[in-house]
Amino acid sequence: MNSTAAEPELAEPYLREWLSTVGLDVEYVRAEGNTLYFLDDGREVPVLDYAGGYGSLIFGHNNPEIVAHAKALLDGGSPVHAQFSRHPYANQVATALNRIIHRELGTDEPYSVIFGNSGAEANEAAIKHAELDRVLRIQQLGEELAAHVEQVRAAVADGTARVSGRALAAAGAEAGEDPLEALLAGVARHNAERLARPPLFLALEGSFHGKLVGSVQLTHNAGYRAPFGALAAQARFVPIGRPEELKRIIEEERAELLDLVVTDGAVEVVPRAFPVFCAFLLEPIQGEGGINVITAEFGQAIQQACAEIDLPIVIDEIQSGMGRTGAFLASSLIGLRGDYYTLAKSLGGGIAKTSVMLVRRSRYRREFELVHSSTFAKDHFSCHIALKVLEMLEADDGRAYRTAGELGEKLTAMLEAVRADFPDVVKEIRGKGLMLGLEFHDQSEGSDEGIRETARAGFLGYAVAGYLLREHRVRTFPTASAANTLRFEPSTLISDAEICQLGSALRGVCSVLRLQDGKRLGGA
């Protein structure tokens, strides 16, 4: 299956070498539906694709309806580069998204839409917008505090107010010769320390929000995040299903500014909440973290905690959204409501690179449009492809959503049957709809040296993926931060026969692991 090339491997040579060791270095030459093809002695060999572009192929590879639409756009001279002009088609996408979200959430508040090219870029836009909103709120708060200082100065000067010892104590100041100036100095010192704090984000343990400079700091896997820790804002990670830990972190990080008011002739110090936290980012179903599903109970705990401190929630639906779980938004299934949503992957129909960040109009800052832009975002081609995808999802009263839910139940039933037959090999089945994961039991203490060492190195899932491709012509991968969990994200075109093919393949690899046949797993 290995391809050969006359030129040296210059594009990601280390990655190519690593893929070769686990038997995944295959060059695919054609794709349709749920099938990829590679060449073997000039003959096309089909491979059943359960990786599905990591959730990018809700309608499969090269869907004929989407491809025909793309051809028509290109034949018609669809403009890609028409920056700083009117983009009515982008507004059509925004309108279509709002219509779907309003129906699903039962709300009529509009969401403003910012376009990008990838999921990570959409999350970066959300991060930036949330920080802009925080900065502007801090500026407004600072102006209010400054105005109150002047009011206090005037009141003390005309004798209608005096500085009390209680106020000095609250500001950490001593009276001295001029109590007012001592008070103002203490307040200024306290506030300056709080204002110097950088923004802090909240995210969940197991989260994956991208690998760009900002988004990687909200990705829990330290291997991705730690080397770049000095470059961007920091996050506190909350354990899934632990609302008490969320409350503890909020209390631990909470900060206040000191305000001054005149009450009954006395200058009083009043605490004002300082927005330390910028946003809470979360995936309703964690993709790279191991297909972990957020429960409705934990979702509501997050909603309540964030509402109490006016902390915006950014719901990352990049992998779980676009109908994959049986609803347009996976978060809607657990009653979770976002101030922001990010979407990408299947929005491009498997051929266009596009993404969106949506933010509630009541939180939207128009200034953002002047400080954020992207050369290829919001172009004619990708917007029209996105419109076609949304049209296909909504067709026949949302038949695609129902199909995803029904197929997900079939796929889940098959995976659970495999687990029932191999309880010593398969630990758990997780997920929703067509976003499912199968976790293997830890093999790091297995009797076979090869399997044992592969597991200890964190490569068991990749070795299994290589076996499935080599022996059963089934393509899937482990999740990035949970290497013992295989992911399954096929399209709504998946057939009963293709589900059976996966079942046979999984039973084959489970038998290999049960027998601790390391040579066969490694292809020896």
CB 218 within 8 A of CB 131: no
Q: Over the stretch 305-349, which tens digit does the pLDDT of each residue have?
A: 999 999 999 999 999 999 999 999 999 999 999 999 999 999 999
Number of domains in the chain: 1
Please name the amino acid found at residue 4: T
512 in a domain, yes or no? yes
Angle at 194 (CA atoms; ends 190, 195), nearest 5 degrees: 115
In this prediction, residue 176 carries a pLDDT of: 77
- Give me the helices (H) in 365-426, please: 368-371, 380-421
In this prediction, residue 3 carries a pLDDT of: 46
CB 179 within 8 A of CB 168: yes
In this prediction, residue 522 carries a pLDDT of: 86
397 in a domain, yes or no? no
CB 216 within 8 A of CB 224: yes
In this prediction, residue 137 carries a pLDDT of: 96
Angle at 319 (CA atoms; ends 307, 406), nearest 5 degrees: 105
- Cα end-to-end distance, the chain, whole Å: 15
454 in a domain, yes or no? yes
515 in a domain, yes or no? yes
54 in a domain, yes or no? yes
In this prediction, residue 114 carries a pLDDT of: 95
Q: How many residues does the chain have?
A: 524
305 in a domain, yes or no? no
Residues with Cβ within 8 Å of 165's Cβ and at least 6 positions away in sequence, in order, are 175
311 in a domain, yes or no? no
In this prediction, residue 373 carries a pLDDT of: 87
In this prediction, residue 524 carries a pLDDT of: 66
Q: Over the stretch 142-179, which tens digit does the pLDDT of each residue have?
A: 999 999 999 999 999 999 999 988 999 999 988 777 99
**Rounded to 5 degrees, what are φ and ψ at 260?**
-120, 135
> What pTM was estimated for this model as a whole?
0.93
Please name the amino acid found at residue 316: D
Q: Which of 441, 468, 438 is nearest to 452 (CA)?
A: 441
Q: Which of 179, 178, 180, 214 is nearest to 198 (CA)?
A: 214
Q: Within 13 Å and on the Cβ side, how many CA atoms surround 246?
A: 26
pLDDT beneath 50, residues of the chain: 2-4
Which H/E stretch holds residue 286?
strand 285-286
Residue 488: CATH number of its domain: 3.90.1150.10
Sheet of 35-40, strands arranged across? 28-32, 35-40, 43-49, 474-475
33 in a domain, yes or no? yes
In this prediction, residue 404 carries a pLDDT of: 98
Range of the domain at 58: 13-62+442-522
